[in-house]
A and B are shown apart, each in its own frame.
Chain A
């Protein structure tokens, strides 16, 4: 056996040789660090809901609420053309409209939150959680910084889901 064939033989036994699989940092972390790793490495775009409702500032709250109900969402982005000027949520309706009224005499611009807190689609999930937990908001419009436009909205639901999914996967892996 020449040295060249020996070399080939060794390579044949090497499971890494033709594989696309590259071990990620996550493979080497302790289980308790996995959640932190997920929070730091997953971009917001993965938990962004791209179903979002837009309304105009001069629309009535009745219309905004109707559109939210129609799409099963809790907030609508207030757009003036391509520009995001505010966000209006069910909470704003609760603050301003009396039960039994429909909101037909209330304009979106009177109750919306102007200049909402935003998040970039490439930022980590941990950053979104920090804003939801401490900025006093429940909906974060997600902006694509490259294209400079709103691409969706992120809320607690998908974030909680991602967290619990990571925790459970971790525990199943530990038991296996």
Chain B
């Protein structure tokens, strides 16, 4: 399970923005694409990531406007994994760097996906049904909503 390459988790293509994109547009993408992490590109090269955490920390103040470039508030340099990195390596990186998103970058530099910490947890849940998947469901509310 832990030696499986992380590339098995690469499912949906990442949502990309260029580094000169205004934050207002990036914010719209975060909302409408239902993602928490955007890949910030300079041409075809990945130069950073922009997460809802960055947005909440840096963008709700009078110091920025909707016109500010996303390149100024992104997370850079990027810490990424290669397609043949193992789940173990990805977990270690996520824990050590306190990140929740890991870009998956091919040897030639192309961005293939963004792996979320949650993807790894779901993968582990399916690999260990006794310990995780078959646990009782939350008793109180059937409520799930984007946000919490």
The segment out of B41-49, B54-62, B107-115 that lies at the interface is: B54-62
Query: A40 on the interface (CB 8 Å rule)?
Result: yes
Contacts A/B (CB < 8 Å), 12 sampled: A74-B53, A90-B57, A98-B66, A99-B27, A117-B143, A117-B144, A119-B138, A126-B135, A127-B136, A136-B146, A138-B148, A157-B95
Do residues A164 and B92 form an inter-chain contact, with CB atoms below 8 A?
Answer: yes
Q: Which 5 A-B pairs have the closest CB atoms?
A: A90-B56, A39-B131, A127-B135, A136-B144, A113-B148
Which B residues form the contact surface with A (CB < 8 A)? 2, 23-24, 27, 30-31, 36, 52-53, 55-57, 59-62, 64-66, 68, 88, 91-92, 94-95, 98, 100, 117-118, 120-122, 124-125, 128, 130-133, 135-138, 140-141, 143-148
Q: What residue of chain B has the Cβ atom nearest to residue A91's Cβ? A: B147
Do residues B68 and A99 form an inter-chain contact, with CB atoms below 8 A?
Answer: yes
Nearest chain A CB to B146 CB, angstrom units: 7
A65, A88, A130, most chain B CB atoms within 10 A = A130
| Cβ 8 A contact of A167, one of B31, B88, B98, B132 | B88
Do residues B138 and A99 form an inter-chain contact, with CB atoms below 8 A?
Answer: no
Nearest chain A CB to B31 CB, angstrom units: 6
Given A65-B56, A129-B132, A157-B98: A91 and B146 within 8 A (CB)?
yes
Known interface pairs A39-B132, A90-B57, A164-B92; 7 further A-B residue pairs with C-beta atoms within 8 A, sorted by A's residue number = A94-B52, A95-B31, A115-B140, A126-B135, A133-B132, A136-B146, A167-B88
Chain A contact-residue range equals 35 or more
Do residues B141 and A117 form an inter-chain contact, with CB atoms below 8 A?
Answer: yes
A89–B1 Cα distance when bound, in Å, is 32
A95–B141 Cα distance when bound, in Å, is 22
Query: A51 on the interface (CB 8 Å rule)?
Result: no
The residues of A that contact B61 with a CB separation of less than 8 Å are 100, 102
Do residues A115 and B121 form an inter-chain contact, with CB atoms below 8 A?
Answer: no
Query: A144 on the interface (CB 8 Å rule)?
Result: no
Do residues B121 and A159 form an inter-chain contact, with CB atoms below 8 A?
Answer: yes
The residues of A that contact B147 with a CB separation of less than 8 Å are 88-89, 91-92, 95, 111, 113
Query: A161 on the interface (CB 8 Å rule)?
Result: yes
Do residues B131 and A100 form an inter-chain contact, with CB atoms below 8 A?
Answer: no
B52, B91, B138, most chain A CB atoms within 10 A = B138
